[in-house]
Amino acid sequence: MQSYLGITVHFINHEWQLKHFLLDLYYLSEQHTAININQALIQVLDQTKITEKLLGITTDNAHLMIAAGRELKETLNNYELVHQRCVAHILNLAVQHGLQLVSPIIKKV
């Protein structure tokens, strides 16, 4: 099995337009641990010269991604860096869990 880390960037340009694109699709050749994910993020940030411009990151709720966010703050020595969990992902998990609790009578309706 192959593992990839998709890194997207979202920013407001000098004309106050919201821009976003795929920055990198990073192949994780080693086990995807918080440390390896952090190292991949640092490498891509350094290559693209945006490390100093980074204000925050958004990840899913996987414990590895949450730990990678903490690692990134420590590595960059930037404890003001905002790490948010993706609201759409949280909402999807809640809806999927709720759908499992639906009784057969409600499914008929």
Q: pLDDT value at position 108?
A: 74
Report CA 36 to chain centroid distance, whole Å. 14
Question: Which of 54, 67, 57, 58 shows the shortest CA–CA distance to 90?
Answer: 58
Model confidence, pTM: 0.80
Q: pLDDT value at position 96?
A: 87
Q: Which H or E run contains 8?
A: strand 3-12
Q: Percentage of residues in the chain with pLDDT exceeding 90? A: 72
CA dihedral over 77, 31, 67, 100, signed as positive or negative: positive
Structure-derived torsion over alpha carbons of residues 82, 86, 90, 96, reported in degrees to the nearest 10: -170
